[in-house]
A and B are shown apart, each in its own frame.
Chain A
Amino acid sequence: MADEIENNSLPTRSPERAAELAPRATEAARALVEAVRLVNAENATDQDKKKAREALKERLEAFLGEEPVLCLAVGEAGLSFTDAGGAPAAGEDASRMFGHGIREIRFGCGVTAGELEGLVETLGLGGRRTDVHDDLVTLVADRDFAHISISSVDEYEDGEQAQTEEIISQGDESDTLWEMDRFRERLARGLTGTLPGELAPPVPAGAAFGLPDDATQLFELAVIFLEIMDNEKDHGRYGRVVDSLGKALDLLFTMGAITHATELVRRLKGISFRTEHLERLAKVKALLGWASAPGTIERLGRYMSKGDNEAEQAGAYLKLFDKRVLPAMITLLETLTNRGARLIVEESIVVQCDKKGAALLPYLEHETSHVVASVVSALGVIDDPASIPALGGLLAHKDYKLRKEALRALANNEYGKATDYIASAMKDEDPGIRVQAAKLIVERAPSMAYGMLVDIVSDKKFGERKFDEKKSFYQLIGKSGGQRSVGFLSEKFKKGGLLYSSNREEDRACAAYGLAAAGGAEAKNLLKSELDSSSKALKGACTEGLRQMTGKK
């Protein structure tokens, strides 16, 4: 809030200036009353409410553009400008503000749309919500607005005023006499009092205090619940404390304090391991059951959708549980649209499965493609040999993305059986997958790869493939075969070679790339021999190949 408001040092205005400002202030007062009225109006749409708030902001800005603060007096008749008379902005809501003890509302420069929305919503609460037990003064105070403040009166309740005088009076009349005798006695005995203590004046605390927010305090309280659970002898009280802990956990979710909730559940799991009393254990397990229930995980999903940080926090929470929550996790995957959040769910699933993929396999049949993709991805990280056939089977799936994901998952798998499936993917209908599979095979089993690649390249129809794919395959032949491949490649490269295809100059260029990958003097000489080729593609490939070979040194 502006210093002027806090210090009660509002600028004084001349009557002329006040009269000049009055119309704008009155407009703002009316806009406020109207915006509050619409909060509870049954026939008002969200659009109407938004327009009313925008109108309020506009009116306030019209005033605050020239003055630092607008003060609206709240009277029985309605809201009016404090510096000038005029017809107040009246209405049921204005009367309610007065009835609840609000006497003035102040707006400072810089008031935000969010603050106005909060104020309007809060002032409207008293008229609609039957579950709100606080009055408007308390509710507004609870909002901690930076640019809005109110003044209020706290009316006496029945009989309070009469008691006040008694409480604040100066006490028994006899005490008002100065009874100096004992004092003089003390003086006579030399007891004149005590000199200031030896302690030096305190040093002001330099560092800012770590001020906890609502969620941190709730977490601190929940930790006390856990402490009590560890030491409580009375079973009845133990049960009540567990119930309170459940409420605390629920509140933490409502507040979006997932990091605190995570720590709490982690500690609760610790308690479950060391609880021997069956009835108590049942209580703790019931709470843990709530913590991992589908409804709770669904709430977590809504939180994850808010952003990357939120998703990260939720991920830490989800990792506390085991594969029993998988159905809820799959539902979560169905609802999440954010790829980053889905990745975090996948990571959590990996932890929950604890290196065993079997529980996930049924979900490979899921009807939603992105869910299956996530499951496949998780299976890849889990690296369980039992899931290889299922992943291999997916390489025949009609969905290109799933085949690609399955290939990636198999690539993560270190077991030999996965290599066979990967090799089969070199015959996929998609060139990207074929090349990827070929690269993987070269990495995993270079000696086996060479022969397979030569077979593929030697197929009559291979020449019909696009240049980039052919180039990749030839390079992989050179890479996997090394000097062994130079003979094969040179026959493809040389004009009139055994494997030369006269009508495909670009195949020679691809072979040039293969030779460059194979390396060696012979390959180099072959490439040099075609540096002056009339074929642009071949000349370019030889130049590029030689450059790569030189770089390889």
Chain B
Amino acid sequence: MNSKSTDAAGAYARAFIRVRRIYEDAAAGRPIESRWLKRAVLSLAEAAVADEARLLRLTALRGYGDELPRHYTNVCVLSLSLGKRVGLSGRRLLRLGMAALLHDIGRSGMPDDLFIGNSEPDDDALEDLNTHPVKGFDLLLKLGGLDKDTVPAILVTYEHHMNLDGTGYPPRDKARQPDIFSRIVRIADNYDSSTSTGVYGRLALRPDKALELMRKRAVSYYDPDILSVFALMMGAYPVGSLLLLSDQTVGVVCEAGGEGDGYARPVVRLVAKVPSHAGEPEGAEDGEEGLPIGGGPPVDLAEKDAAGGYAREIAGSLDPSLCRLNVNAALLQPHTFTRQGALR
């Protein structure tokens, strides 16, 4: 479907608001009114075609509170982008998006602090937590009913914690593989949870580290083919990564992914200059720390200088939560750069 006028941020926000309401309704035992949720997914799907880079940046925002609706929305966006690359039609993307938004519906009615908190859940709490796929499955059957629209959501809700090697929960016949929608949502869900602080009481992993861990587990946990597509979509340093560059600048990854050079050389916004020695930052005295809040203009790390070398090398990736730079501000800068072919 065409989407030239779709606003990615508006679509993201509407999905967020509506999914939050749906989860509240489900917790209260009210029927699931999916009409407006479907429209939100359609808008997200349109935005995933028209302005995917911006949509993916929105998934990397962190630290606002209301983490669970944000997580559901992020999983939906990541799943839609992944589903698009896997070759799903518009109709199937709509179903996938709905399933992704509702995948954790079994959590509704459970206290949020079971999922989000400062400490890891104990064994009892973990046991409770692990029932959410089954609870969600029962809830959707009860509140949503069974028809061809709801089937993918019920499937995904039940299967999104199942691993490819037969482990995970709830237990299943190992000869049966989870549905492809479940395998897509499994990847999107795991990535977003791993990179968010407080989910299951864990600290957020750096985006590149989270992806690397997932790739190492590819054979046993995830569908390796779909994970490959996801890894290419996200790049070695996914959106939201904080990179220390060879010229002692620090950049927030704003656009990433693709094959060739683009895979490991994302587009960044420079947000800080690092002093070469401990002490006051360079230029701090006269208030010229060098870069505006939200970062400077986008810099494509795949660009080469006149001599044919890369202008900047990546010295390493940093943990955004430890550096306390305003990554969000950089991610929310107006979209001014799209690397041709990087995300298409």
Interface residues of A (CB under 8 A from B): 5-6, 8, 101, 103-104, 106, 133-135, 137-138, 141-144, 149-154, 156-157, 160, 163-164, 167-172, 175-180, 182-184, 186-188, 192-197, 199, 201-205, 207-212, 214, 217-218, 220-221, 223-224, 227, 231, 237, 240, 244, 247-248, 251, 255
Q: Tell whether, in the assembled complex, residue A201 and residue B324 are in contact, meaning their CB atoms are under 8 Å apart.
A: no
Given contacts A137-B39, A204-B228, A221-B155, contact A237 B326 (CB under 8 A): no
Residues of B within 8 A of A240 (CB): 138, 141-142
Bound-state CA distance A153–B43 (Å) is 8
* Other A-B pairs, 6, CB within 8 Å; known A160-B18, A167-B16, A193-B244: A167-B70, A175-B329, A184-B274, A193-B316, A201-B264, A208-B87
Residue in A closest to B147 when the chains form the complex, CB atoms: A251
Q: Tell whether, in the assembled complex, residue B274 and residue A187 are in contact, meaning their CB atoms are under 8 Å apart.
A: yes
Residue B89, interface by CB 8 Å? yes
Residue in B closest to A175 when the chains form the complex, CB atoms: B326
Q: Tell whether, in the assembled complex, residue B1 and residue A171 are in contact, meaning their CB atoms are under 8 Å apart.
A: no
Q: Tell whether, in the assembled complex, residue A151 and residue B244 are in contact, meaning their CB atoms are under 8 Å apart.
A: no
Minimum CB–CB distance for A552 against chain B, Å: 59
Interface residues of B (CB under 8 A from A): 1-5, 9-14, 16-18, 34-36, 38-40, 42-43, 46, 49-50, 58, 61, 63-64, 66, 70, 86-92, 94, 137-138, 141-142, 146-148, 151-152, 154-155, 158-159, 171-173, 176, 179-181, 206, 208-209, 212, 215-216, 225-229, 231-232, 236-237, 243-244, 259, 263-264, 271-272, 274-275, 278-279, 281, 289, 293-294, 314-318, 322-326, 328-329, 332
Q: Tell whether, in the assembled complex, residue B317 and residue A224 are in contact, meaning their CB atoms are under 8 Å apart.
A: no
Residue in B closest to A150 when the chains form the complex, CB atoms: B1
Bound-state CA distance A133–B37 (Å) is 12
Q: Tell whether, in the assembled complex, residue B147 and residue A209 are in contact, meaning their CB atoms are under 8 Å apart.
A: no
Q: Tell whether, in the assembled complex, residue B13 and residue A163 are in contact, meaning their CB atoms are under 8 Å apart.
A: yes
Q: Tell whether, in the assembled complex, residue A154 and residue B11 are in contact, meaning their CB atoms are under 8 Å apart.
A: yes
Q: Tell whether, in the assembled complex, residue B179 and residue A212 are in contact, meaning their CB atoms are under 8 Å apart.
A: yes
Q: Tell whether, in the assembled complex, residue A152 and residue B17 are in contact, meaning their CB atoms are under 8 Å apart.
A: no
Given contacts A171-B63, A192-B244, A217-B155, contact A199 B323 (CB under 8 A): no
Minimum CB–CB distance for A107 against chain B, Å: 12
Bound-state CA distance A208–B237 (Å) is 26
Q: Majority SS of interface residues in chain B?
A: helix
Q: Tell whether, in the assembled complex, residue A160 and residue B13 are in contact, meaning their CB atoms are under 8 Å apart.
A: yes
Q: Tell whether, in the assembled complex, residue A164 and residue B10 are in contact, meaning their CB atoms are under 8 Å apart.
A: yes
Bound-state CA distance A149–B2 (Å) is 6
Residue in B closest to A195 when the chains form the complex, CB atoms: B316
Q: Tell whether, in the assembled complex, residue B9 and residue A192 are in contact, meaning their CB atoms are under 8 Å apart.
A: no
Residues of B within 8 A of A176 (CB): 293, 326, 329
Q: Tell whether, in the assembled complex, residue B208 and residue A196 are in contact, meaning their CB atoms are under 8 Å apart.
A: yes
Residues of A within 8 A of B225 (CB): 205, 207, 209
A–B Cβ pairs within 8 angstroms, 30 of them: A5-B2, A6-B2, A138-B42, A138-B94, A144-B90, A151-B3, A152-B46, A156-B10, A160-B13, A168-B13, A178-B289, A182-B324, A183-B323, A184-B275, A184-B281, A186-B322, A187-B274, A192-B244, A193-B317, A194-B209, A199-B215, A201-B232, A201-B259, A201-B263, A204-B229, A214-B151, A217-B151, A224-B137, A244-B146, A251-B147
Residues of A within 8 A of B3 (CB): 151
Residues of A within 8 A of B90 (CB): 141, 144
Contact of A167 among B17, B46, B271 (CB under 8 A): B17
Q: Tell whether, in the assembled complex, residue B39 and residue A154 are in contact, meaning their CB atoms are under 8 Å apart.
A: yes
Q: Tell whether, in the assembled complex, residue B146 and residue A203 are in contact, meaning their CB atoms are under 8 Å apart.
A: no
Minimum CB–CB distance for A186 against chain B, Å: 7
Bound-state CA distance A170–B4 (Å) is 25
Residue in A closest to B206 when the chains form the complex, CB atoms: A194
Minimum CB–CB distance for B203 against chain A, Å: 15
Q: Tell whether, in the assembled complex, residue B226 and residue A205 are in contact, meaning their CB atoms are under 8 Å apart.
A: yes
Q: Tell whether, in the assembled complex, residue A151 and residue B1 are in contact, meaning their CB atoms are under 8 Å apart.
A: yes
Residue in A closest to B38 when the chains form the complex, CB atoms: A138
Contact of B12 among A167, A231, A255 (CB under 8 A): A167
Residues of B within 8 A of A248 (CB): 146
Task: Kindly name the residue among B9, B17, B89, B208 whose own CB sees the greatest number of chain A CB atoms within 10 A.
Answer: B17
Residues of A within 8 A of B64 (CB): 167, 171
Residues of A within 8 A of B35 (CB): 133-135, 138
Residue in A closest to B216 when the chains form the complex, CB atoms: A199
Q: Tell whether, in the assembled complex, residue A227 and residue B172 are in contact, meaning their CB atoms are under 8 Å apart.
A: yes
Task: Kindly name the residue among A156, A193, A208 whose own CB sees the greatest number of chain B CB atoms within 10 A.
Answer: A193
Bound-state CA distance A153–B39 (Å) is 9
Residues of B within 8 A of A202 (CB): 215, 227-229, 231-232
Q: Tell whether, in the assembled complex, residue A167 and residue B13 are in contact, meaning their CB atoms are under 8 Å apart.
A: yes
Task: Kindly name the residue among B39, B88, B264 whose own CB sees the greatest number of chain A CB atoms within 10 A.
Answer: B39
Bound-state CA distance A144–B88 (Å) is 11
Residues of A within 8 A of B18 (CB): 157, 160
Q: Tell whether, in the assembled complex, residue A196 and residue B278 are in contact, meaning their CB atoms are under 8 Å apart.
A: no
Residue in B closest to A157 when the chains form the complex, CB atoms: B36
Bound-state CA distance A184–B271 (Å) is 15
Bound-state CA distance A297–B339 (Å) is 58
Bound-state CA distance A8–B49 (Å) is 11
Bound-state CA distance A333–B10 (Å) is 59
Bound-state CA distance A128–B188 (Å) is 40
Q: Tell whether, in the assembled complex, residue B329 and residue A134 are in contact, meaning their CB atoms are under 8 Å apart.
A: no
Residues of A within 8 A of B329 (CB): 170, 175-176
Bound-state CA distance A197–B208 (Å) is 8
Q: Tell whether, in the assembled complex, residue A164 and residue B155 are in contact, meaning their CB atoms are under 8 Å apart.
A: no
Q: Tell whether, in the assembled complex, residue B88 and residue A156 are in contact, meaning their CB atoms are under 8 Å apart.
A: no
Residue in A closest to B20 when the chains form the complex, CB atoms: A163
Bound-state CA distance A222–B272 (Å) is 55
Residues of A within 8 A of B289 (CB): 178
Bound-state CA distance A212–B155 (Å) is 13
Q: Tell whether, in the assembled complex, residue A205 and residue B13 are in contact, meaning their CB atoms are under 8 Å apart.
A: no
Q: Tell whether, in the assembled complex, residue A211 and residue B146 are in contact, meaning their CB atoms are under 8 Å apart.
A: no
Contact of B9 among A104, A164, A188, A204 (CB under 8 A): A164
Residues of B within 8 A of A255 (CB): 148
Query: Sorted from nearest, which 4 A-B pairs have the closest CB atoms?
Result: A193-B316, A164-B13, A205-B225, A202-B228
Q: Tell whether, in the assembled complex, residue B2 and residue A104 are in contact, meaning their CB atoms are under 8 Å apart.
A: yes
Contact of A196 among B264, B274, B324 (CB under 8 A): B264
Q: Tell whether, in the assembled complex, residue B259 and residue A204 are in contact, meaning their CB atoms are under 8 Å apart.
A: yes
Bound-state CA distance A207–B179 (Å) is 17
Residues of A within 8 A of B86 (CB): 209, 211
